């Protein structure tokens, strides 16, 4: 996407009608004042050749407003896009991150409970989104539902976590952990997640954190 926008920037500037046709060589990313500088260099009067050339070089270094805006957009997108990239954690990597967030022992659940839950809900994929028939979505590494906990395009959803569902797709997991903690404060605890009830509850989960260096 970035390369496509950069190509559009080059095309926009090179095809600008104010570019000087008399300049030989490869096209430049400047041209707002090139036609003016050409006119000055061909005009007579009291203006010296040296002064005209200096002004021509100065004008040649000025970029068109449209080119500046396109370049700014490309730069902005290059900063924003990496932050939205999906991340699939490894087992021990996720265990360390969740431990740093204080989930080990939270509400009586072990770190292995959380790692087991993440595996059976999303396969450790922070960008996982499951679309339900009613238009709701399950989002992120813990597949948190938009029916109650976050806001997507569904109107009048309770949004108990006070965040957009897209926030739950962030690979740094901060918003995900905050929302998961809030869910776990409910009477069901981790039992809110069907995947945890079926695959993790009451089972020996030591393998989920075995060999992880904390």
pLDDT per position as a tens digit, 106-138? 999 999 999 999 999 999 999 999 999 999 999
- Dist. CA 76–CA 88, nearest whole Å: 25
3-state secondary structure 48-84: CHHHHHHHHHHHHCCCCHHHHHHHHHHHHHHHHHHHH
Band the pLDDT of 26: cuts 50, 70, 90: very low
Q: Average pLDDT, stretch 176-191? A: 98
Torsion 179-182-186-191 (CA) sign: positive
- Dist. CA 127–CA 88, nearest whole Å: 8
Q: How many CB atoms neighbour CB 114 within 10 A? A: 29
Band the pLDDT of 157: cuts 50, 70, 90: confident
Band the pLDDT of 22: cuts 50, 70, 90: very low
Q: Average pLDDT, stretch 56-61? A: 48
Pick the CATH number of 89-206 from 1.10.530.10, 3.20.20.210, 3.20.20.140, 3.40.50.2300: 1.10.530.10
pLDDT per position as a tens digit, 192-202? 999 999 999 99
| CA dihedral angle for residue 57, residue 61, residue 65, residue 66, rounded to 10 degrees | 110
- For residue 63, pLDDT over 80 is answered with no
**Mean pLDDT rounded to a whole number for the chain:** 76
- For residue 82, pLDDT over 50 is answered with no
Please state the domain extents for the chain: 89-206
- For residue 153, pLDDT over 70 is answered with yes
**99 touches 191 (CB < 8 A):** no
């Amino acid at each position: 996407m970035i390369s496509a926008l950069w190509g559009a920037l080059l095309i926009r500037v090179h095809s600008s009608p104010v570019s000087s046709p008399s300049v030989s060589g490869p096209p430049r990313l400047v041209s707002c004042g090139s036609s003016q500088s050409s006119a000055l260099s061909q005009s007579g009067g009291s203006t010296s050749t040296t002064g005209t050339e200096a002004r021509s070089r100065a004008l040649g270094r000025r970029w068109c407003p449209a080119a500046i805006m396109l370049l700014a957009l490309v730069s902005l997108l290059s900063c924003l896009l990496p932050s939205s990239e999906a991340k699939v954690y490894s087992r021990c990597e996720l265990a360390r991150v969740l431990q740093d967030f204080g989930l080990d022992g939270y509400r009586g659940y072990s770190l292995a409970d959380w790692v087991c839950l993440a595996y059976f809900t999303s396969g450790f994929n922070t960008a996982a989104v499951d679309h339900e028939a009613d238009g709701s979505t399950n989002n992120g590494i813990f597949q948190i539902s938009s029916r109650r906990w976050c806001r997507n395009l569904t109107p009048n959803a309770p949004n108990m976590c006070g965040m957009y569902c897209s926030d739950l797709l962030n690979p740094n997991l901060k918003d995900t952990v905050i929302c998961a903690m809030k869910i776990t404060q409910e009477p069901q605890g981790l039992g809110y997640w069907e995947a945890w009830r079926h695959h993790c509850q009451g089972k020996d989960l030591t393998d989920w954190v075995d060999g992880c260096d904390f």
